[in-house]
Amino acid sequence: MALGLTHFLVVSALLFCLGLYGVLTRRNAVAILMGIELMLNAANINLVAFNKYVAPAALNGQVFTLVVITLAACEVGVGLALVMAAYRNLETVQVDRINMLKW
Amino acid sequence: MLLLDWLYVAAFAVIGLLLAALSLAIVWVLSPRSAYPQKRMTYESGVVPIGQAWAQFNIRYYLFGLVFVIFAVEVIYLYPWAIVFRQLGKFAFFEMLIFLVVLLLGLAYAWRKGALEWT
Amino acid sequence: MNWGAEIAKAVLAAVGMFTFLAIVAAMFGVLLERKIGGWIQSRLGPKHVGPQGLLQTLADTLKLLQKEHITPRAADAVVFNTAPLVVATAGLMGWLVIPFGTLGGTVLVVRDLNIGILFFAAMASMTVIGILAGGWSSNNKYSLLGALRSASQMISYELPLGMALVAVAMEAGTLSTVGIVRAQDGWMGSFIFRQFPAFVIFLVAATAEVNRVPFDLPEAESELVAGYLSEYSGMRFSLFMLGEYAEMFAMAAMTTTLFLGGWKGPLLPPLVWFFLKMYLVVFFMMWVRWTFPRFRLDQLLSLCWKVLLPAGLIWILISGYRITF
Amino acid sequence: MERYLLTITVFLPLLGGLIILLIPKGRDELMKWVAAAAAGLAFLVSLWLLGPFEMGSAGMQLQERYLWIPGIGINYHLGVDGLSLPLLIMTALLSLLSVVYSWRIEMRLKEYLFLFLLLETGTLGVFVALDFFLFFVFWEITLVPMYLLIGIWGGPRREYAAIKFFLYTLVGSLAMLLAIMLLYFNAEPRTFGILELIQQQPLARVPALAALAFWGFFLSFAIKVPMWPFHTWLPDAHVEAPTAGSVILAAVLLKMGTYGFVRISLPMLPETFKLFAFPIAILALIGIIYGALVAMAQTDLKKLVAYSSVNHMGYVMLGVSAAAAAVGVPEKAHAATIALNGAVFEMIAHGIITGALFLIVGVIYDYRAHTRGVAEFGGLGARLPLYTGVTMMAMLASLGLPGLMGFVAEFLIFVGSFGVFPELTALAVTGVIFSAAMFLWTIQRIFLGPLNPKWAELPDLDRREVISLAPLAALMLAFGVYPRPLLDMINVAMTSLVAVLR
Amino acid sequence: MPIPIEDLWSLVPEFWLAALGLLLVLLDLFLPGDRKRLVGWAAVVGLLLVLMPILGMLGTPARTVFFNTYAVDGFAVFFKIIAVVATILVILSTMDALRGHTSFEGEMYVLLTFAALGVCLMAASADLILLALSIEFVSLSSYVMAGYFKSDLRSNEAGIKYFLFGAASSAVMIYGFSILYGLTGETNLYAIADRVRTAPQPALVLAVGMALAGLGFKVSMVPFHQWTPDVYEGAPTPVAAFLAVASKAAGFAALVRFLMVAIEPGPVDWVAPIAGLSAVSMTLGNLLALPQRNIKRMLAYSSISHAGFLLMGVAAHRGDFGAPGLLIYLLAYTFTNLGAFFVAIAVGGRLGSDEIPSYAGLAQRSAGLAAVMALFMLSLTGIPPTGGFLGKFYIFGAAVNNGLLWLAVVAVINSVVALYYYVNVIRVMYLLPAPSGGSASGPVPLRLALGVAALGTLVIGIFPQPFVTLVGAAAMLLRM
Amino acid sequence: MGTLAAFFILSAVTLIPAVVVVTSKNIVRSALALVPTFFGITGLYILLRAEFVAGIQVLIYAGAITVLILFVIMLTEGGTGIRIRQVNEQVPVGALASAVLAALLIWVFLRTPWPQGPGALPEYTAAQIGTTLLSSMVLVFEVTSLVLLISLIGAIIIARRER
């Protein structure tokens, strides 16, 4: 068995679903964000793997990965700012306690 | 073979961690132990710790972290540009000029709005 | 390819390099620091253990090895013990891409990675994680505070550091360290001339990055009970120290590589040139330590964000303009 | 000028309404006069239409046609024929009379008048629109003002009645929209022109879609008519609406439904209509008998009139479905024509009579007794002679007394539909008996017998009430005695319609 | 690969918007605190000016520029117009709404301008990378705007919820994009279209489904709608208006281009699921809107239901009524919904409440406001002669034309249900007595925005031909 | 063979800490566990010949994003040391959904005949990425700067106190 594309895809699928699990089950906004990061990383693995095995002629996959990393950074920046602002007012970062409005 | 390079990197990482852990293990074997409970208390200037080890720290830590993340991302775009802009001519320079001017504006904003002040 | 042999070679290289570093960087470095400190303050420094106190650090190390192993009860033991490993390893990893010189036709470098300086910057940034982990796991508010301050400082100075690296990469057109040295031909070819602002930025940022005076605020004993290190003792403490010294020497080596023409120089063998330049930079850093007072945190961060970072960005643009047109 | 007569008729009221909006608060008299002027002018212009209108010609006349949304083949297309012109004039007249009747409204006058005039524009437009899109727009425009008229100026349960009215009719109109779309997309070339579609018969070859489209239209029109069992909104709406609103609702809005059956369902989907004519006739029959019986059980005057509307519209639908059943059967064409003539005549007759009846109820309820309970009255005949005269005339007209308008209509319908559905018609005639009984009993209870001392001081009709009721009474009588001019006009249109269907 | 200079000319509007945004940042930095409104006016002027180059591109032939990463066609132009017009109106309304809530006034205009740019980019992106980037561009600015009132707990909550939902669904979407890239080896939509025919089925379905998650989030399609009510209620009202209109329009632009350009040639049947989602969205949105007492929350659920209607246009995209219908519905919806939110701003600002019962007797307190609100409610219901009606007309026509009669019937039923809660607002305003005096008319900029919204709603309903021509051109050029 | 072994080791390094990330009761440990996960992913990138992306992965994910996350955790509840239940009541549902999705994804991935494109990756990916970014992806490149700008501005707005 030689190392091939599907190996990476399986890891990516598992990582994605772990991230999803985190997103679905965590109460802490930051923890949910970490789950989202895992999901994005899974997508990145896909992109890089496909770039090598499917379309090695151009580097679109890797460029996409860079963009995703950038977006992840921006999301973390903005998202954590919102978390901090909410924490200042509510003294909690548990999303089910941030619940003035009907959920 | 490119992967060979990274085999060395991996080896360095693993060995580094192992050696450091080894030193700790040696100490763990050699060092004296006492069951003197005060020693294992948190050291806070000799005063008995009260409450949790936490205070509502300044949001400024976050602001610095934020600006850092944004500019760290910016820097990653500089690296590939830096190695090829020579070949790509003046277009590449102007592209980067726009990119950097936009981010300098961001820096100016952060500066002017006091996100870079500690006090 | 024979993987077994390669792995064996890699492990040997790693062990060799680390041993070398532990001696040259850490032990000798500490001694050097004490000596220079003594010289600047017109006193003698360590003198009794071994000839001229050469073995003083060894003795200290032996003492540290026997020190009691204290883990605070409220601390998170796993994280508490892992943090020093991370810091130490991160400090050592940077050496992987440093070219020491040439021997015959081959360059003496563990591996000439094609993303060399990026790798270096990445490894340097790992220290922050270790420090934060250490500070938090101590479960001590001074440690946590110290860790946060230290991390703030380090991440801030990573940026100018990166900018300086980019400026050099622009000049050399490559990220490989060997390539960068090769791009610096002759004495005037050293990038310190063409990239002098980048050199200054790099040096300042590197000094701050390794938490040295005047940027040693995070572990300022007089202000913060040794910062994030408060709860650390014994060997774990010395691992932090090892990482720090390793990184300081790595920074010096990198300065040499990037700006001082690396191993290149007339007459003397390349290896000698390299160490000469590196110790020059180390000496400079120690000299600064014993001469300048400590910055306040706000001054420290202002320097970074309001001087070094804009300067770096603008310098990159200037260099870009110069090289393009 | 003549080229734009229809447009002027339709939009004069709206113009008046917009002017009223600009009048500052407090100038109530001015607003009323402007409203009356707008409605009056619209009525006059609609009468003027009779001049250029050629009585003998069957086709659409006075057509106006401009590109509106050429991108999808929508035109601004107006026109009248013998079917729509009487309805147009009747609408204009009733609107004018209602404005006159509403003179004493004080609460939120500006909004009232604006909405009323907007409503008039919508109803007028429905009768002259010859493009489906335009037709639909006018059709829907009537909903909002009616909703608000009921909701703001209505009786105690006005909110419920208003929203019920709105919901019911919206269901219907959206169903119609889908039916229109089915026609449009099967036409070649695609068009929303009603006349063009009638000519094309786009769904003739796809019976399944034709049935869908038919039921779409049916739902819309049947709710509007209202046919049993879609009538439940009607008693609520009629009872709760202010008097003028009830008048327009009963006299005009209901006609939009039957007009739709005659103008659209019948010529557009004749085969399909024929297929379903019998069940529809049965529904109409149920409506006739149910309406009459339930009306008889009512003690509330307004409700009584409302249910009598269900009964009367049943006649209309009986006539229309009889005509539909005769499609493609040349020997029944004559009967079909008579039935249709009767149906259309009944629309006019019912408009005038029921309009009058609601005004009559309003007279006693709004300004005098403030109650509509039949049982609470008695012996008013001696006290209010003028009022009694008008009321009795309207009620007798409604029950179909010969010499008054209702009789002509019902007679024609029965004659016509007997040729197609003899059994159903025979049963339907019993409805006449029920409604006769109902009205006579009502007259007896209100006007005869001992006078309830409570009402001893009631004044008789004043001048303005006379002005609003007299024209209607005159028309009932005039067309009852001499229906020819109206019937001729209708007959030309219906004959050509039946001719096309054959 | 040098960049063709003539390509640059096709991007004049985007450059302009970007430059405008940067200029506003500068302006904001150097204006004193009490003059920040000037930033808003500068933004309005700049946006008005940018309309010129956008309109100037109306007739140009469809093509892609910048190495096929960016489409220049009528479709994109149409959405650019929507973005700019909506943003202008939102900025006008913002000038009133921010007072007293935040000291960061200038930045709001900056963010709105950049968000407008993001919407333009979303509508014209012809490359997955650029598409993902521009979606995040709009999202990130929206997250910030949703949480703009930092001392207001509900705004905090709106920001956090919007962020978490948005980030999660965009992660799913990017994963879907990555699979699509793996199946075709391309990131360019037009190149994908060439390769997608032979793409293996189940993976392609998976990719499209995951990509729909992110786009569905933007347009608040069920089941990615949960954020909508909380965010609309908690966010500052002008922001809610922006999300309901511009952000949603952009979502549809991206969705339509993605599906119709890249996926349409492939073997995946996406029409049926979209039709199903459309039915579910409109039904669920309507049913949940029924019991709402808060106007913003009601509008949020109504916007879910309108997403359903719009999806109906996506599902029934073929023919003269499909894509044009979608676009004209969006256009009418833009004006109408903006108007409804503006009334909410005016009322909320004066009466301090967004509860529908507090609208009682508005007709007597400020007749004009009540009248335009009634107009907007009727337009949302789809009563002629409003723009909303024309949109419904088109969409129903498209459904009938595409053989989706069942969906049209569902839509009819939903329209009737919707009538109930829309008319309820009219009922409260007109039928209920006013509790007390006090007029509730807004300041000049807000009234200006309201006027434009009302005018737009009416004009689209009464004289739609220019708009019909516009959307006809936009839809024709879509597939080049 | 060697690469396969490396792959499995790296997968373990990626996935096992990832499990800790999403399940640990201690939020700081979760965050710290991100670091080995990111390193594992870095290793996978290396196996895929994407050294530049790998470098960025460490620099940004491990070096910047994690640090920021740690900052925020330490500034909020993580710093308090109070143990709060970290999961909501959706655990079974979430686990089931994730498991089903994982099975589905893997099933689809395994049975899909992925196309094999022509050509080979360039030796020096960093340069090629630079070229791509500056030519065919130039719009992406410039828009990125704007995205960074608004994130910076937006986050500062949100994080700063009202005056």
Dump strand ranges (E) for C13-126: 101-103, 106-108
Q: What would the mean pLDDT of C103-118 be, rounded to a whole number?
A: 83
Range of the domain at E419: 271-480
Contact across the interface for B76 and A77, Cβ inside 8 Å? no
Least confident span in C39-48, D55-64, E60-69: C39-48
pLDDT band at C220 (very low <50, low <70, confident <90, very high): low
**Residue B51's pLDDT is what?**
44
Parallel, antiparallel, or unpaired: how do β-strands E70-72 and E63-65 relate?
antiparallel
- Pick from A78-82, D224-228, F19-23: least confident: D224-228
The pLDDT value given to residue C102:
83
The residue of chain B nearest to residue C128, with distances taken between CA atoms, is B65
Q: What are phi and psi of D128, to 5 degrees?
A: -115, -5
Mean pLDDT of D83-111: 89
The predicted complex's ipTM stands at 0.91
D53-67: pLDDT as tens digits: 888 888 888 888 899
- Taking alpha carbons only, the member of D137, D241, D164 closest to residue E419 is D164
User: How much is the mean pLDDT over chain D?
Assistant: 88
C235 touches chain B (CB under 8 A): yes
- Kindly list the distances between the CA atom of residue E55 and the CA atoms of C76, E134, E478, in Å, as whole numbers in the listed order: 63, 22, 17
Question: What is the structure's pLDDT at A103?
Answer: 42
Rounded average pLDDT over C273-295: 82
Count up the domains in chain E and report the number: 1
CB contact under 8 Å between F157 and E148, yes or no, is yes
Interface of A with F in 25-54 (CB under 8 A): 25-28, 30-31, 33-35, 37-38, 41, 44-45, 48-54
- For D108-137, how does the pLDDT look when each residue is reduced to its tens digit (9 = 90+)? 888 899 999 999 999 999 999 999 999 999
Which of F4, F7, F32, F76 would best serve as a mutation to test chain C binding (most C beta carbons within 10 A)? F32
Structure confidence by residue, pLDDT tens digits, A22-48 = 998 888 889 999 999 999 999 999 999
Mean pLDDT over residues A43-61, rounded? Answer: 92
Q: 10 Å Cβ neighbour count for C52?
A: 14
Burial of D382 (0-12, 13-18, 19+ CB in 10 A): exposed
- The answer to whether the beta carbons of residues A88 and E160 sit under 8 Å apart is no
- Residue D162 falls within a domain, yes or no? no
CA atoms within 13 A on the CB side of D350: 31
Query: Residue D318 domain-assigned?
Result: yes
Tell me whether B39 touches chain E (CB under 8 Å): no
State whether residue B89 sits within 8 Å of chain E by CB: yes
- Residue D226: strand, helix, or coil: coil
Give the pLDDT score at B48: 45
Which token pair is E77? 């132009």
Percent of chain D with pLDDT over 90: 33
Q: Which residues contact D371 (CB under 8 A, 6 or more apart)?
A: D365
| Rounded Cα–Cα distance for residues C110 and C96 (Å) | 5
Residues of B in contact with C158 (CB under 8 A): 68, 72
| Model pLDDT, residue B47 | 47
Mean of the per-residue pLDDT values for chain C? 80
How many Å lie between the alpha carbon of C106 and the closest alpha carbon of chain F? Answer: 21
Chain B residues whose CB is inside 8 A of the A3 CB are none
Weakest-pLDDT range from C143-152, C193-202, D13-22: C143-152
Q: Which of residues 73-132 of F touch A (CB under 8 A)?
A: 73, 75-78, 84-88, 90-91, 93-95, 97-99, 101-102, 105-106, 109-110, 114-122, 125, 128-129, 132
Per-residue pLDDT, C249: 87
Name the closest residue on chain E to residue A86, using Cα atoms. Answer: E156
Helix (H) or strand (E) run with residue E5 in it: helix E5-10
Q: Residue E337's pLDDT is what? A: 94
Lowest mean pLDDT among C170-174, C217-221, D120-124, D395-399: C217-221
pLDDT recorded at residue B50: 43
Query: Which other chains touch chain A, taking contact as 3+ CB pairs less than 8 Å apart?
Result: B, E, F
Chains that touch D (3 or more CB pairs under 8 A): E
Q: A74 CA to chain F: closest CA distance, Å?
A: 6
Residue E275 domain flag: yes
Q: Is residue E36 part of a domain?
A: no
Interface contact flag, B16 C93, Cβ < 8 Å: yes
DSSP state, D63? Answer: E
Structural domains in chain D (count): 1
Break chain E down into helix, strand, coil percent, rounded to 5: 80, 0, 20
Q: Which pLDDT does position B53 carry in this prediction? A: 40
Average pLDDT over residues D258-265: 92
pTM of this structure: 0.92
Q: How confident is the model at residue F84 (pLDDT cuts 50, 70, 90)?
A: low
Of F108, F109, F153, the CB nearest to E110: F153
Best residue in B8, B50, B58, B69 for a mutation probing chain F (most F CBs within 10 Å): B69
What band does D462 get if pLDDT is binned at 50, 70 and 90?
confident
- d(Cα E405, Cα E413) in Å, to the nearest integer? 12
The answer to whether residue F80 neighbours chain B at the CB level (below 8 Å) is: yes
SS3 D81: coil
The answer, yes or no, to whether residue C54 has pLDDT greater than 70, is no
Helix (H) or strand (E) holding D66: strand D61-69
pLDDT class of C187 with cuts at 50, 70, 90: low
Closest to B66 (Cβ–Cβ): which among A69, A81, A88?
A81
List the single best residue of B57, B59, B81 to mutate versus A (max A Cβ within 10 A). B59
State the pLDDT confidence band at E367, using cuts at 50, 70 and 90. confident
Instruction: Determine the pLDDT at residue A40.
Output: 95
Contact B3 F46 (CB under 8 A): yes
Closest to C85 in 3D by CA, of E133, E275, B61, B25: B25
Which of F144, F155, F162 is opposite residue E103, by nearest beta carbon? F162
Distance CA E18, CA E23 (A): 8
- Local confidence band at C44 (pLDDT 50, 70, 90 cut-offs): low
Statement: residue D471 has pLDDT above 50:
yes
C-alpha span between E242 and E296 (Å, rounded)? 13
Predicted confidence at residue B1, as pLDDT, reads 54
Would you state the pLDDT for residue D443? Answer: 86
Asked if C touches B (at least 3 Cβ pairs < 8 angstroms), the answer reads yes
Q: What are the chain B neighbours of A73 within 8 Å (beta carbons)?
A: 69-70, 72-73
Tell me: cis bond preceding D189? Omega within 30 of 0 counts: yes
Q: Is the pLDDT of residue E147 over 80?
A: yes
Sort F113 into a burial class: Cβ within 10 Å, 0-12 / 13-18 / 19+.
exposed
Angle (nearest 5°) at CA C315 between C311 and C321: 150
Residue-wise pLDDT for E396-442, tens only, equals 999 988 888 899 999 999 999 999 899 999 999 988 887 766 665 67
DSSP letter (8 states) at residue F86: -
Check residue A101 and give its pLDDT: 52
CA distance E85 to E336: 13
Distance CA B65, CA D385 (A): 94
Is residue E7 in a domain? no
Give the mean model confidence (pLDDT) for residues F109-134.
Answer: 86
**Given CB atoms, is B6 within the 8 Å cutoff of chain E?**
no
Residue where the block lists tokens 């239901």 = E305
Q: What percent of chain E has pLDDT over 90?
A: 56
Mean pLDDT of C140-162: 83
Torsion over CA: E261, E265, E267, E272 (sign): positive
**CB of A44 closer than 8 Å to CB of A68:** yes
Q: What is the pLDDT of residues E340-364, one digit of tens each?
A: 999 998 888 888 788 888 888 888 8
Q: Do chains A and E touch (3 or more CB pairs under 8 A)?
A: yes
Residue E177 and residue E132 in contact, taking contact as beta carbons nearer than 8 Å: yes
Report the sign of the C-alpha dihedral through residues E233, E238, E239, E245, in that order: positive
* Listed residue (C119, E33, B85) closest to F62, CA to CA: C119
Confidence of residue B116 (pLDDT cuts 50, 70, 90): confident
Least confident among B85-99, D88-102, D373-387: D373-387
Beta strands D61-69; D74-80: pairing state: antiparallel
For residues D281 and D326, the answer to whether their CB atoms sit within 8 Å is no
Residue E244 in contact with residue E337, Cβ under 8 Å? Answer: yes
Asked if the model's pLDDT at residue E220 lies above 60, the reply is yes
F108 to chain B, closest Cα gap in Å:
30
Per-residue pLDDT reduced to its tens digit, B20-67: 888 888 777 776 665 555 555 555 444 444 444 444 456 788 888 999
F42 touches chain A (CB under 8 A): no
Does any domain span residue D259? no
How many CB pairs (< 8 A) connect A and B? 23
- Burial of residue E249, with CB atoms counted within 10 A of its CB: 0-12 exposed, 13-18 middle, 19 or more buried: buried
Q: What is the pLDDT of residue C222?
A: 47
Q: Is residue D223 part of a domain?
A: no
Closest residue of chain A to B63, computed from CA coordinates: A81
E412 near D CB under 8 A = yes
Q: Do C136 and F28 touch (CB under 8 A)?
A: yes
pLDDT tens per residue across span B66-76: 999 999 999 88
Is there a contact between E206 and F104 if contact means CB atoms under 8 Å apart?
Answer: yes
Summarised one tens digit per residue, pLDDT across range A61-103 is 999 999 999 999 999 999 999 988 888 887 777 776 666 554 4
Q: What is the C-alpha to C-alpha distance for residues D418 and D425, in angstroms, rounded to an integer?
A: 6
Lowest mean pLDDT among D218-227, E314-323, E386-395: E314-323
E285-328: pLDDT as tens digits: 999 999 998 999 999 999 999 999 999 999 988 888 888 899 99
What is the DSSP code string of C176-214?
A: -HHHHHHH--TTTTSHHHHTHHHHHHHHHHHHHHTT-TT
Residues of F whose CB is below 8 A from A62: 50, 52-53, 125, 129
Indicate the class that CATH gives domain F1-84: mainly alpha
- Contact E205/D at CB under 8 A: no
Q: What is the DSSP string of E225-248?
A: -THHHHHHHHS-HHHHHHIIIIIH
| d(CA B3, nearest CA chain A) in Å | 14
Tell me whether residue D294 is in a domain.
Answer: yes
Segment among A38-52, B15-29, C117-131 with least mean pLDDT: B15-29
Tens digits of per-residue pLDDT, E90-100? 999 988 778 77
C112 pLDDT band (50/70/90 cuts)? confident
State the best of F51, F75, F84 to mutate against chain B, taking most chain B CBs within 10 Å.
F75
Question: Is D477 inside any structural domain?
Answer: yes
Query: Which stretch of DSSP H or E encloses residue E63?
Result: strand E63-65
**pLDDT, tens digit, 9 for 90 and up, residues C163-180:** 999 999 998 888 889 888
Mean pLDDT taken over chain E:
89
Question: At D61, which helix (H) or strand (E)?
Answer: strand D61-69
For residue F81, the chain C residue with the least C-alpha distance is C139
The answer to whether the CB atoms of E136 and F113 lie below 8 A apart is no
Parent domain of D323: 276-502
Q: Count CB pairs under 8 A between chains B and F.
A: 139
Cβ-defined contact of C230 to B64 (cutoff 8 Å): no
C-alpha A88: how far from chain center: 25
